Structure 1
Amino acid sequence: MSTADDPTADGPPAATTADLDRAGYDPAFLTVDLPLPAVHTTVRELPYVHFTVLLDPVRRLAALTAVNVDGSSLVDLGRGVDWHLDGRVPDDEQTGPGVYASNDLDRGHLVRRRDPVWGEQAVAVQANVDTFCFTNAAPQAAEFNQSKELWLGLEDQVLQYASTHRQRLTVFTAPVLLDDDAPYRGIRLPRRFFKIAAWTTSDGGSLRTAAYLLDQSPELDGVDLEAAFARAHEQGDPPPLGPYRTYQVPVRDIAAMTGFDLAQLAEADTLRPVPTIEPPDGIREGWVPLTSVDQLSF
Structure 2
Amino acid sequence: MIPADSPRTVGAAAGTTTSRPPLADRAGYDEHFLGVRVPLPVPTRPQVETVVLPYTHFTVVLRPDRRMAVAAAVCVDGRRLMDQVPRESSWQFDPRVDKAHQTGHDVYRDNSLEKGHLVRRLDPVWGAAAEADQANEDTFHYTNAAPQADVFNQAKKVWQELENHLLDHAADVDRRLAVLTGPVLHDSDPPYRGVQVPLRFWKVAAFLQGGSLASTAYVLDQSPDLTRDAERALAGAQAGAPPPLGAFRTFQVPVRDVAELTSLDLGPLPAVDLMPVVRAPAERWKRLASHDDIVLRRD
TM range (shorter): 0.7 to 0.9
Query: Where does 1:57-72 land on structure 2 (aligned, <5 Å)?
Result: 57-72=64-79
The equivalent position to 1:45 in structure 2, one of 52, 69, 79, is 52
Q: Structure 2 vs 1, CA of residues 52 and 247 (structure 1 numbering), >3 Å: closer, same or farther?
A: same
1:12 aligns to what? none
1:216 aligns to what? 222
- Paired with 2:155 and 2:186, the residues of 1 have a C-alpha distance of 22
Matched, 1:197 2:205: yes
Q: Contact between 1:25 and 1:66, CA under 8 Å: does it hold in 2? A: yes
Q: Structure 2 vs 1, CA of residues 216 and 94 (structure 1 numbering), >3 Å: closer, same or farther?
A: same
2:262 aligns to what? 258
CA RMSD, 1 decimal: 2.1
Q: Which amino acid aligns with 2:91?
A: W
Q: Contact between 2:185 and 2:262, CA under 8 Å: does it hold in 1? A: yes
The equivalent position to 2:139 in structure 1, one of 131, 136, 140, is 131
Give how far 1:19 is off.
4.4
Matched, 1:26 2:34: no
Give how far 1:227 is off.
5.5
Deviations 1:114-144 (A, max 9, x none): 1101111111110000001110001100011
Give how far 1:296 is off.
4.1
- Paired with 2:90 and 2:143, the residues of 1 have a C-alpha distance of 13
**Mean Cα deviation higher: 99-108 or 267-276:** 267-276
Matched, 1:142 2:155: no
Q: Structure 2 vs 1, CA of residues 146 and 46 (structure 1 numbering), >3 Å: closer, same or farther?
A: same
Q: Contact between 2:182 and 2:203, CA under 8 Å: does it hold in 1? A: yes
2:118 aligns to what? 110
Q: Structure 2 vs 1, CA of residues 75 and 276 (structure 1 numbering), >3 Å: closer, same or farther?
A: same
Give how far 1:276 is off.
6.1
Q: Which amino acid aligns with 2:292?
A: D
Give how far 1:198 is off.
0.2
**Mean Cα deviation higher: 79-88 or 219-228:** 219-228
Give how far 1:25 is off.
0.6
Give how far 1:228 is off.
2.3
Give how far 1:297 is off.
5.7
**Mean Cα deviation higher: 54-63 or 164-173:** 164-173
Taking structure 2 as the reference length, the TM-score comes to 0.85
The equivalent position to 1:170 in structure 2, one of 171, 174, 178, is 178
- Paired with 1:147 and 1:19, the residues of 2 have a C-alpha distance of 35
Q: Contact between 2:216 and 2:275, CA under 8 Å: does it hold in 1? A: yes
Deviations 1:75-132 (A, max 9, x none): 2211111111100000010000011100011111100011101111111110000001
SS of corresponding position for 2:107: helix
- Paired with 2:171 and 2:122, the residues of 1 have a C-alpha distance of 11
Q: Percent identity?
A: 50
Taking structure 1 as the reference length, the TM-score comes to 0.85
SS of corresponding position for 1:253: helix
1:13 aligns to what? none
- Paired with 1:154 and 1:217, the residues of 2 have a C-alpha distance of 20
Deviations 1:255-286 (A, max 9, x none): 11111122511001000121264xxxxxx541
Q: Contact between 1:43 and 1:55, CA under 8 Å: does it hold in 2? A: yes
Q: Contact between 1:103 and 1:238, CA under 8 Å: does it hold in 2? A: yes
Q: Contact between 1:150 and 1:292, CA under 8 Å: does it hold in 2? A: yes
1:273 aligns to what? 277
Q: Contact between 1:64 and 1:174, CA under 8 Å: does it hold in 2? A: yes
Q: Structure 2 vs 1, CA of residues 96 and 115 (structure 1 numbering), >3 Å: closer, same or farther?
A: same
Give how far 1:65 is off.
0.2
**Mean Cα deviation higher: 46-55 or 117-126:** 117-126
Segments of 5+ residues of structure 2 without an aligned counterpart are 1-20
Structure 1's consecutive aligned runs of 4 or more residues displaced over 3 angstroms after TM superposition are: 158-166, 221-227
Give how far 1:161 is off.
5.2
Give how far 1:218 is off.
1.0
Residues paired across the two proteins, number: 271
Give how far 1:20 is off.
3.6
1:183 aligns to what? 191
